[in-house]
């Protein structure tokens, strides 16, 4: 009978702890930033209906940052009367929100 496959989460933690103990902690910062930027680029392409280049992604002036961070602020998007949230729609209005610089 074949041995059971090890749990991938256990293996991940085992490897993480080994490199920390060896003084070689893993730095996935660049990977995480690129992965996040790729997700944002995909959102830009889907919502705008446009082909988006990496340069266009990097030149966008749209920000997802809140003007203020605190526990007592009003959320920027609130649910409708039925408890659902508005959905972003593709098209010119959404494209303009990305505030691309003129090419």
Geometric angle at alpha carbon 39, from 46 and 15, rounded to 5°:
155
Tell me if the pTM is above 0.75: no
Task: State pLDDT tens for residues 10-53.
Answer: 999 999 999 999 999 888 899 999 999 999 899 888 877 778 88
Give the total number of structural domains in the chain: 1
Q: Is residue 40 part of a domain?
A: yes
Q: What is the pLDDT of residues 59-88, one digit of tens each?
A: 888 777 888 889 998 888 889 999 999 887
In a domain, 1, yes or no: no
Judge whether 20 lies within some domain: yes
Domain annotation covers residue 77: yes
Q: Domain range holding 93?
A: 9-97
pLDDT score, position 17: 92
Q: How far apart, in whole angstroms, are the C-alpha atoms of residue 91 and residue 31? A: 31
Residue 59 lies in a domain: yes
């Amino acid at each position: 009978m074949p041995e059971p496959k090890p749990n991938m989460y256990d293996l991940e933690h085992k490897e993480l702890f080994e490199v920390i103990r060896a003084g070689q902690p893993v730095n996935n910062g660049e990977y995480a930033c690129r992965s996040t930027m790729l997700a944002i680029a995909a959102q830009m392409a889907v919502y705008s209906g446009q082909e988006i280049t990496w340069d266009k992604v990097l030149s966008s002036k749209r920000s997802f940052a809140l003007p203020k961070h605190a526990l007592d602020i009003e959320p920027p998007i609130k649910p409708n009367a039925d408890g659902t949230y508005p959905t972003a729609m593709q098209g010119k209005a959404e494209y303009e929100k990305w505030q691309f610089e003129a090419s």
